[in-house]
Chain A
Amino acid sequence: GAGVSQSPSNKVTEKGKDVELRCDPISGHTALYWYRQRLGQGLEFLIYFQGNSAPDKSGLPSDRFSAERTGESVSTLTIQRTQQEDSAVYLCASSLSSGGTLPFFGPGTRLTVL
């Protein structure tokens, strides 16, 4: 596609449920990032994939968070046993490569945990 797409655009879930958020990066982009944006705050880095290298998971806030990426395509961010503090907009971005190539961001998934 022309840009990074994310689905769903909105997700409302109950506390304790698991959720999966999907990101389709721009075709050919080898690097993929997940960020979280809480209300009134800047973006927090969560995880970074680059090609076949081991992902940089240093930003994941707890072991309830995990992410996978199939090759250089789709990525899924999974949050298990959701908590209210997980409510945020989750942004995905992709770039051609690492090392200074700026990422293109998707529109985000707004997650609300009741």
Chain B
Amino acid sequence: AQSVTQPDIHITVSEGASLELRCNYSYGATPYLFWYVQSPGQGLQLLLKYFSGDTLVQGIKGFEAEFKRSQSSFNLRKPSVHWSDAAEYFCAAPDNFGNEKLTFGTGTRLTIIP
């Protein structure tokens, strides 16, 4: 079965520090991959998406992610975090190729400390 794994349940970083959130997938073909952010009391917002082509994708709010087929990973990065980045982050992929049903990872909660 297709799956998306986020190995880190909770990460704490200092404001201004760099950030990397891990996501691993298990798909036979090149998957579509997404990162969503969920702030407290808010719905999920799409940060960025990878469909094909350039393996480094830029998203909103200064986030980027790199698709690495050799590592089956799609890690989310930001060079310098802001206190407003504190949220829950979800990696997702379609259940099957071309499918609109998304399979989500269990999420990584990001805490920012001064």
Q: Point out residues on A near B: beta carbons under 8 Å.
A: 3-4, 31, 33, 35, 40-43, 45, 48, 50, 56, 59, 91, 93, 95, 98-108
Contact = CB atoms under 8 A, between A and B. Distances in A.
B32 A100 contact: yes
Given A102-B34, A105-B44, A41 B106 contact: yes
A109 to B, nearest CB: 11
Interface string B75-98: 000000000000000101001001
How many interface residues does chain B have, given as a range? 20 to 34
A45 B41 CA distance: 20
Contacts of A101: 100
Contact of A100 (B90, B98, B104, B106): B98
A96 to B, nearest CB: 11
Contacts of B36: 105
B101 interface: yes
B90 A105 contact: no
Most chain A beta carbons < 10 A, residue from B43, B104, B106 = B43
A31 B43 contact: no
B57 interface: no
B92 to A, nearest CB: 8
A103 B102 contact: yes
Interface string B52-75: 000000000000000000000000
Given A4-B43, A105-B43, A107-B41, A43 B98 contact: no
A99 to B, nearest CB: 6
A8 B104 CA distance: 24
B104 A48 contact: no
A8 B6 CA distance: 30
A95 B100 contact: yes
Contacts of A105: 36, 43-45
21 contacts: A33-B100, A35-B104, A40-B106, A41-B107, A42-B90, A43-B92, A43-B102, A45-B95, A45-B101, A48-B101, A50-B100, A56-B101, A99-B100, A100-B100, A102-B34, A102-B49, A105-B36, A105-B44, A105-B45, A106-B43, A107-B41
